[in-house]
Amino acid sequence: MNKIVKYVITDILRNRIIIIYTLFLLASALTVFSLEDNSSKGLLSLLNIILIVVPLVSIIFSTIYVYNSAEFIELLVSQPLRRKSIWLSIFTGLASSLALAFFIGAGIPILLYQANMIGLTMILSGTVLSVIFVAIALLSAVQTRDKAKGIGAAIMLWLYFSLLFDGLVLFLLFQFSDYPLEKPMIGISALNPIDLTRILILLQLDVSAMMGYTGAVFKDFFGTYPGLVFSCAVLLLWIALPIWLSTKKFKSKDL
Amino acid sequence: MKYLASMIVALFIAVSVSAGIIRVGSKHTHKTVRAGINAAAAGDTVSVDQGHYRERNLVINKRITLKGNNRPILDGESKYEIISVFTSGVTIEGFKLIHSGVSSLEDLSGIKVSNSSHVTIRNNILEDTFFGIYIQNGSNSRIINNQLRGTSLEEQRSGNGIHCWKSENMHIARNSISGHRDGIYFEFVKNSVILKNTAANNLRYGLHFMFSNDDSYLDNVFRNNGSGVSVMYSKRIKMLSNHFEENWGDAAYGILLKEISDGTMEGNYFTKNTSAIYMEGANRISMKQNTFKDNGWALKIQANCMDVVLERNNFIGNTFDVGTNGSLVLNTFRNNYWDKYEGYDLNKDKIGDIPFRPVSMYSVIVEKFPVAMILFRTFITTLLDKTEKILPSLTPENLKDNEPLMHRAF
């Protein structure tokens, strides 16, 4: 298994796309921090990058990689290797290289300019989001052999998580505004990993505004130890569940 | 006439020269403060040595100076008002007053001054008193450099730190007040100066005043009080260079201005409050050169405010700059620096060429549906905000700064 992981990582790191992605993150993070006169504004721009660009690149790149390695995967399957370990190796390789790319591209500038709780939360969030969207990409890629369909599905999933889901929540909010929605909202936010990480960052970034009644409900939940454990557990579940499902599917898949 | 005046002056000097010093302490004839006060004549100084005195309620009925050496302790044993002053010209300094009684009916205090003028209360420490320093119907008095530390846990069973009722020409300076209900409380207080005080961690308001006209508040710090600062129904107040910090909560405001007219607020700093300023029915207020930094809302200005002028203020790092509840705008925004301004300055006169609208659509939505705060900074809400900036429909069209500054105002 280690051999396959190593092979996948070297293959990805030789790929120009991931290097361009790293450089893009590095360049935008550095410009954002050095251009803005106060670093909190820089953090805000970076927040958008983390919440939008990181999931997009992770999901599309992983999907394309899986489809392009179809022949390689077939070759591996013909060897005396367990399918489970092949699939998990591909996931580990993808996830670790994308997380590494994020850490070098965005993590290092953040550590340089904002080495505090906000910065750390951001680095962790970005890394976790990278891994989650690799897992989701693998799940969507394993469903179909058609590359165009697979990439389309990946784009739709990204659109859903970063845009449509929030639109739906906003709609629900307006429809049910007469009811106390603070607590259900916490549950709903667990349904979208992007939202969950955003709220964790928001609680640090807009702490003053979040101290109003509604914000206080969220703060009381996410800001406390059990809340933090809950959010970490949910984020890990967002990695584990798609991987488990896709592995199951891959095991019995007709290649 | 001139002769008479010099006679009076001479008499005055004679009296002050003849003023004696009465010493109180275990080594002196007068063992208790009460005995010392009884022995004193008007104009005398009662000098109290270090010690722990349980004197029940000390009543001061003559013009004396009560002075503590090495901070003697006056203990109210959680039953009594510690010092009650009923005459003018009294000075109390250098004591530590602890454990006054608690009574909402009688407002038991550490020091209560009734119907007196020219009273000075200086360099005292008050701990665990119900009300701290209580002035009723006083004038020309000075409360300077005292430390008041209450131990109240709930609003109903707590008193105010410095409480003034129906007074004028008060000078309240360099006190620090914590753990009381309101740090400084004024009702019907005129022409007074409140200077360099610190009110922090009080249960309700750091500063609370009503019906108090022509007062000046300078260089004070109000930090982390239950509901911030609340000022109501007052005219011609001046608030300069005060700090309002870390007042967190849904009903907590850096400062709440209700029915305030003809006021001046300049050079104040508002940092990390949920709402820095909440204005309701405020008229003709001039707000210049204030700094709003890292607040949830820098300014909540209700539509019933009129002729409020905001000029050359800095708005930096606030989640929302301005919130309002209607479309009517009778106030002026001019030459402020907004860090969210995205306009340009083609003629390089350091003033932005397009107006800035400080009310973002999302602040309007959050005002109506507070839960929507959970969607703040999502892609979709940013998109909605941008659309609204181009075509205002929900936000008041006239609430704008036509000449926003490109760089910080100061």
Q: Do B381 and A177 touch (CB under 8 A)?
A: no
Residue B383 falls within a domain, yes or no? Answer: no
List chain B residues with CB under 8 Å of A114: none
Q: How confident is the model at residue B58, as a pLDDT?
A: 93
Q: Is it the case that residue B1 has pLDDT exceeding 70?
A: no
Q: Is residue B364 helix, strand or coil?
A: helix
Summarised one tens digit per residue, pLDDT across range B76-90 is 999 999 999 999 999
User: What mean pLDDT do residues A10-28 have?
Assistant: 89
What is the pLDDT, as a whole number, of residue B105?
A: 86
Contact across the interface for B378 and A182, Cβ inside 8 Å? no
Which of B226, B247, B268 is at the close of a domain? B226
pLDDT tens, A147-185? 999 999 999 999 999 999 999 998 988 898 888 888 888
State the CB neighbour count (10 A cutoff) for residue A190: 18
Reported confidence tier of residue A33, pLDDT bands at 50, 70, 90: confident
Query: Is A76 touching B (CB cutoff 8 A)?
Result: no
Q: Are residues B184 and B211 in the same domain?
A: yes
Is B271 found in the same domain as B221? Answer: no
Are B256 and B281 contained in the same domain? yes
- Based on the domain organization, do B269 and B216 belong to the same domain? no
* Residue A52 touches chain B, beta carbons under 8 Å: yes
In this structure, is residue B210 part of a structural domain? yes
Tell me the backbone φ, ψ of residue B79, rounded to 5 degrees. -125, -35
In this structure, what DSSP letter does residue A163 have? Answer: I
Residues of A in contact with B293 (CB under 8 A): none
CA-to-CA distance for B118 and B120, rounded, in angstroms? 6
Model confidence at B17: pLDDT above 60: no
In 3D space, the residue among B185, B244, B174 whose CA is nearest the CA of residue B210 turns out to be: B185
Are B108 and B244 part of one and the same domain? no
Is the domain of B179 the same as that of B249? no
Q: Is the pLDDT of residue B9 over 60?
A: no
Q: What is the CA radius of gyration of chain A?
A: 19
The model scores a pTM over 0.90: no
Across-strand partners of B194?
Answer: B172, B217
- A168 Cβ under 8 Å from any chain B Cβ: no
What are B250's two structure tokens? 């849904």
ipTM above 0.95, yes or no: no
Q: Residue B190: its pLDDT value, please?
A: 94
What is the SS3 assignment for B59? strand
Q: Best interface-test mutation with B: which of A211, A213, A218, A222 has the largest number of B CBs within 10 A?
A: A211
Which chain A positions have a beta carbon within 8 Å of B368's beta carbon?
Answer: 177
Query: Which of B197, B226, B255 is the last residue before a domain boundary?
Result: B226
Cα dihedral B199, B203, B205, B209, rounded to 10, equals -100
B75 and B172 share one domain: yes
Final residue of a domain: which of B162, B191, B226?
A: B226
| A55 vs A131: CA distance, rounded Å | 9
Kindly state whether residues B276 and B243 are assigned to the same domain: yes
* Residue A195 sits at the chain B interface (C-beta within 8 Å): yes
Asked, for residue B6, whether it belongs to a domain, the answer is no
User: Same structural domain for residues B209 and B74?
Assistant: yes
Same domain, B119 and B243: no
Report the domain count for chain B.
Answer: 2
Among the listed residues A162, A169, A198, A51, the one whose alpha carbon sits nearest the alpha carbon of residue B369: A169
* Residue B403 covered by a domain: yes
Comparing CA positions, the residue from A106, A119, A68, A173 lying closest to residue B380 is: A173
Instruction: Report pLDDT for B15.
Output: 47
| Average pLDDT for B81-100 | 94
Q: Does a structural domain hold residue B60?
A: yes
- The answer as to whether B82 is a domain residue is yes
User: A79-107 b/e with 16+ CB inside 10 Å = b?
Assistant: eeeebebbbbbbbbbbbbbbbbbbbebbb
The answer to whether A212 contacts B373, with C-beta atoms less than 8 Å apart, is: yes
Decide: B292 and B268 in contact? Cβ < 8 Å.
no
Q: What are the tens digits of pLDDT across the range B288-319?
A: 999 999 998 999 999 999 999 999 999 998 98
Is B12 a member of any domain?
A: no
- Cβ-defined contact of B374 to A209 (cutoff 8 Å): no
Pick A218's closest partner by Cβ from B339, B374, B382: B374
Q: Does B372 touch chain A (CB under 8 A)?
A: yes
| pLDDT tens digits along B135-173 | 999 999 999 999 999 987 787 788 999 999 999 999 999
Residues of B in contact with A219 (CB under 8 A): none
Digit-coded pLDDT (tens) for B323-381:
988 888 899 999 999 998 988 999 999 999 999 999 988 888 888 888 888 888 888 88
CB contact under 8 A, A170 and B381: yes
Report the distance separating Cα B331 and Cα B257, nearest Å: 15
Residue B95 burial (10 A CB sphere; 0-12, 13-18, 19+) = buried
Burial (CB count <10 Å: 0-12, 13-18, 19+), residue B156: exposed
Q: Does B269 touch chain A (CB under 8 A)?
A: no
The answer to whether residues A250 and A85 touch, using CB atoms and an 8 Å cutoff, is no
CB contact under 8 A, B317 and A198: no
* Domain of residue B52, CATH code: 2.160.20.10
For residue B251, the enclosing domain spans 238-359+395-410
Query: What's the rounded mean pLDDT across residues B46-55?
Result: 92
With beta carbons under 8 A apart, name residues in chain A contacting B406: none
Question: Does one domain contain both B117 and B137?
Answer: yes
Q: What is the mean pLDDT of residues A230-237?
A: 93
Interface test with B, best of A39, A183, A208, A214 (most B CBs within 10 A): A208
Q: What CA–CA distances, in Å, run from B288 to A199, B83, B242, B309, B314?
A: 35, 43, 13, 8, 9
For residue B231, being part of any structural domain is answered with no
pLDDT band for position A216 (cuts 50, 70, 90): confident
Tell whether B297 and B410 lie within a shared domain. Answer: yes
Strands B147-149 and B176-178: parallel
